[in-house]
Structure 1
Amino acid sequence: METMWIQNIKLETGSYTDEEGYVFTKTGIFHLKVEGGKIVDQIEENISIPDGESEKLDAKGLLAVPTFKEMHNHLDKTYMSLGWKSCKPVRNLKERLHHEAEELVELAPTTKQRAKTMIETLLSQGSTHIRTHVNIDPYIGLKNLEGVLAALEDYKGIVTADIIAFPQHGLLRDEVPHLMKEAMRSGATMVGGLDPAGIDRSIEKSLYTTMDIATEFDADVDIHLHDGGHMGWYTIDKWLDMTADSGWRGRSAISHAFCIGEVPEIRAQQLAERLAEQKVAVMSTIPLTKSLPPVQLLDKHGVDVHFGCDGFFDSWSPHGTGDVLEKVTKFCELAGLKDENQLRKALKWATKGITPLNDQGEKQWPKKEDPADFVFVDAASSAELVARKPIRNAVMVKGKVVYGSL
């Protein structure tokens, strides 16, 4: 079993408030012993590392934070690696979907190449887990899935992934339900859905079909929901009934969920309570173009909220960097989160809930037996990281540097 020491790594250790009311994060320099990709010992810098043949890696006082989790992405859609191409003008969603469908056949042969370029971009920003939705539709069948699976195989042991069979052009049409099942047999790990009202035109039938596929393959679910207002609210409420009836508690998520922010607050609170009860997560890309789900209200009620970058540089938008931390920073700006406590807690939206300090400002990460997975940055604290978005000096997975250098 490989053993190594990571020397001079800055970790957050606690919090204090000065006489003027400013909150500060306390840090210390540590040496971490790693065996088999996990942390097995942690000693302070004033204690000498035992002599031996273990490899040593010097972090040079850089701050370590948990690696990021990109929780809403489309690896198969990007134009990356093909050169510059802006979006074709369209008049409405129907035209945009038609244009995408025309492009699918043209782009399919380069799916692996394009997906690998996007994976590299996400990894360079600190993301080591990717939840990707992959088009499953009548135009290309499973070709995009095949390309994405091949790309992810090249990053096995570095990047983990949720691979969602995604009916972008509608679940209730042609042979799509059959193709969705074929996708689940061919490597997809989750079942996707899309706008049961706006796209499928039948809320109950769309949701029941989604759940039927999920139960057949014992798979988790992630539903794109752009349908707004009370229609979207009803859709989520109906889905919560189904999760309770099917025993799918803790096994699904709603992506976008704009509707929760578009209904009266009492309605949003009712839904938040049910989402928490059924452990249904909400995935947000913090877009500029539409209302947001009420992240803080959901958080207050115990709903897991995670951020993602969505697709970027594709037929839908030429914008985007692949930096999920940027999404956290943007939300903090929108919500007016400015102080040390608020900023460092906000990191959880990029790390799937993991933060170095708990809500009381006490150290909770990393612990013995945790994976040696780190993003290294030149920052005083995770609060500065969220506010200022410094470059990622290095990314480490299981004790090995997979991006950048130390």
Structure 2
Amino acid sequence: MPTTLIRNVRPWGGEPSDVTVAGETIAAVTAHEPGSAVVPAEGTTVVEGRGRLLLPSFSDVHVHLDSTRLGLPFREHTGAPGVWGMMLNDRNNWRHAEACIDERVETTLRMMIERGTTRVRSYAQVDVDCGLERFEAVAAARETHRGRADVQIIAFPQAGLLLEDGSAAMLEEALKAGADVVGGIDPCSLDRDPVRHLDIVFGLAEKYQLPVDIHLHEPGELGHFSASLIAERTRALGMQGLVTISHGYPLWSVSEAHTRSLIETWAELDISTATVAPAGPHQLPLARLAEAGVRVGLGEDGQRDYWSPYGNADMLDRTWQLAFANGFRADELIGHAAAVATMGGAAILDRSLPRLRSAADRPGTQVSDVASFILVPGDSVAAAVMDRPADRTVLHRGRVVADQLALV
């Protein structure tokens, strides 16, 4: 079994430590003794921490690798308002980029790994226009970087399931081809038939024994209606712990009674949520969600694509955005943003991992934890989030996969 010694690091900003990794997991965390003459066992790989922070690697649980333009010339934004208008803009342009879809997806996933993300859940659009082409590009990039990151693929009906003949059949084809998650989107406002839409999504999830991830942009009472239907199916099918509602920002601005009921229901059914730290007033009540045991993860969404000019493959940057958008100033809350961006998302991808239980919870660097880390300089976790330094070393399952923003 390969052994790695990560010397002189500060787990979550704590005391200087030496971390021994056996295989893919942490075997020991011991106090670092400056100037000690301890000689690692023969065959041990030594990673010099240089006093840097040791954090769990990032988990991007809401990214659209199949629509990226990172690495290509910047282009004017041409999207129309609304989900359908933006979808049509993407549909009219994605084939005509300066590089093919396979190259663009691989480039973006590589950049994410180089910056510290080794856990990924990516959408792959499937519809009657693109067929499985975009799904296959994401699957190919996953294979290219199989030893550097764990990647789940969501078969995602961005154009809905009922507006174009053959959409539901194409979604099922992606599941047969190896997609890991069944996607859905705005069952009321886009498809205008929430019962049929959710019957298809949950029916396929039950048939193929897969989890569900539903985009929900619907506002106010309409959004709560869709969320209640999703919860109803989760309970009826015994899919506790297998459902994620992504976005869902307007859900938290209706009333205190709605917020309290939603938190209680999601905690009971282990329905998780993913945010991309949007601008504006619709922010998730992160501390309350953690205290209730609701799993919350972070993602970068589109990456400088035909939907938006934002996104740079850097989850440390998106962690800063999460803290900024929520008005966090206290070190503990900024650290909580980092916990959401790392182990919060990891607990969505792997439900055997514990949920964050408070804003002070800092899992992921103890004995028996999987050894997927990012090493960054900083006086504290909050300082690293504010500074977003380029000096980074990335480990995935016990092995160094990137250093100084380049693959190893």
> Normalising by the residue count of structure 1, what TM-score does the alignment of the two structures yield?
0.89
Structure 1 residue 91, shift from structure 2 partner: 5.3
What is the CA–CA distance in structure 2 between the aligned matches of 1:363 and 1:277, rounded to whole Å? Answer: 23
Q: How many residues align?
A: 392
2:181 corresponds to: 190
Structure 1 residue 336, shift from structure 2 partner: 3.1
CA gap 1:155/1:222 in 2 versus in 1, 3 angstroms: same
* Equivalent residues of 1:124, 1:392 under 8 A apart: no
1:6 aligns with 2:13: no
Structure 1 residue 286, shift from structure 2 partner: 1.3
Structure 1 residue 112, shift from structure 2 partner: 1.5
Deviation per residue, 1:259-286 (Å, 9 max, x gap): 3123111111111111111100111111
User: Please, which of 42, 61, 67 is the counterpart of residue 71 of structure 1?
Assistant: 61
User: Please, which of 37, 56, 59 is the counterpart of residue 49 of structure 2?
Assistant: 59
* Equivalent residues of 2:336, 2:361 under 8 A apart: no
1:252 corresponds to: 243
2:101 match: secondary structure: helix
* Equivalent residues of 1:224, 1:256 under 8 A apart: yes
Deviation per residue, 1:77-112 (Å, 9 max, x gap): 012244332222535544332222223444698222
What is the CA–CA distance in structure 2 between the aligned matches of 1:259 and 1:365, rounded to whole Å? Answer: 31
Matched AA of 2:115 = Q
CA gap 1:48/1:38 in 2 versus in 1, 3 angstroms: farther
1:86 corresponds to: 76
Segment of structure 1 superposing worse, 112-121 or 211-220: 112-121
Deviation per residue, 1:307-343 (Å, 9 max, x gap): 1110121111112222223333233233332223222
Segment of structure 1 superposing worse, 359-368 or 149-158: 359-368
What is the CA–CA distance in structure 2 between the aligned matches of 1:154 and 1:121, rounded to whole Å? Answer: 13
Mapping 1:206-355, distance limit 5 Å: 206-288=197-279, 291-353=282-344
Structure 1 residue 127, shift from structure 2 partner: 0.9
1:41 match: secondary structure: strand
* Equivalent residues of 2:213, 2:244 under 8 A apart: yes
What is the CA–CA distance in structure 1 between the aligned matches of 2:40 and 2:283, rounded to whole Å? Answer: 54
Deviation per residue, 1:21-42 (Å, 9 max, x gap): xxxx6x3222222222322233
What is the CA–CA distance in structure 2 between the aligned matches of 1:9 and 1:29, rounded to whole Å? Answer: 5
Segment of structure 1 superposing worse, 68-77 or 165-174: 165-174
Specify every segment of 5 or more residues in structure 2 that has no aligned partner in the other structure, as ranges: 347-353
> Normalising by the residue count of structure 2, what TM-score does the alignment of the two structures yield?
0.89
What is the CA–CA distance in structure 2 between the aligned matches of 1:304 and 1:51, rounded to whole Å? Answer: 39
CA gap 1:144/1:381 in 2 versus in 1, 3 angstroms: same
1:16 corresponds to: none
Structure 1 residue 294, shift from structure 2 partner: 3.4
1:159 aligns with 2:158: no
Segment of structure 1 superposing worse, 285-294 or 216-225: 285-294
What is the CA–CA distance in structure 2 between the aligned matches of 1:112 and 1:289, rounded to whole Å? Answer: 34
1:31 corresponds to: 18
* Equivalent residues of 2:335, 2:382 under 8 A apart: yes
1:121 aligns with 2:111: yes
CA gap 1:92/1:57 in 2 versus in 1, 3 angstroms: closer
CA gap 1:349/1:204 in 2 versus in 1, 3 angstroms: same
Specify every segment of 5 or more residues in structure 1 that has no aligned partner in the other structure, as ranges: 13-24
Matched AA of 2:160 = G
1:222 match: secondary structure: strand
* Equivalent residues of 1:104, 1:140 under 8 A apart: no
What is the CA–CA distance in structure 2 between the aligned matches of 1:66 and 1:143, rounded to whole Å? Answer: 33
Structure 1 residue 363, shift from structure 2 partner: 7.7
Structure 1 residue 254, shift from structure 2 partner: 0.4
Segment of structure 1 superposing worse, 243-252 or 267-276: 267-276
CA gap 1:242/1:151 in 2 versus in 1, 3 angstroms: same
What is the CA–CA distance in structure 1 between the aligned matches of 2:215 and 2:387, rounded to whole Å? Answer: 30
* Equivalent residues of 1:67, 1:127 under 8 A apart: yes
What is the CA–CA distance in structure 1 between the aligned matches of 2:259 and 2:188, rounded to whole Å? Answer: 19
What is the CA–CA distance in structure 2 between the aligned matches of 1:249 and 1:89, rounded to whole Å? Answer: 37
Segment of structure 1 superposing worse, 230-239 or 112-121: 112-121
CA gap 1:344/1:214 in 2 versus in 1, 3 angstroms: same
* Equivalent residues of 1:261, 1:291 under 8 A apart: yes
What is the CA–CA distance in structure 2 between the aligned matches of 1:400 and 1:263, rounded to whole Å? Answer: 46
* Equivalent residues of 1:343, 1:387 under 8 A apart: no
* Equivalent residues of 1:79, 1:85 under 8 A apart: no
CA gap 1:49/1:34 in 2 versus in 1, 3 angstroms: farther
Q: Which has the larger radius of gyration?
A: 1
Structure 1 residue 362, shift from structure 2 partner: 8.7
What is the CA–CA distance in structure 2 between the aligned matches of 1:153 and 1:91, rounded to whole Å? Answer: 35
* Equivalent residues of 2:84, 2:159 under 8 A apart: no
RMSD value, Cα? 2.5
* Equivalent residues of 1:104, 1:139 under 8 A apart: no
1:375 match: secondary structure: strand
Matched AA of 1:112 = D
Matched AA of 1:49 = V
* Equivalent residues of 1:122, 1:323 under 8 A apart: yes
* Equivalent residues of 1:126, 1:392 under 8 A apart: no
CA gap 1:261/1:222 in 2 versus in 1, 3 angstroms: same
What is the aligned-residue identity percentage? 28
What is the CA–CA distance in structure 1 between the aligned matches of 2:40 and 2:321, rounded to whole Å? Answer: 46
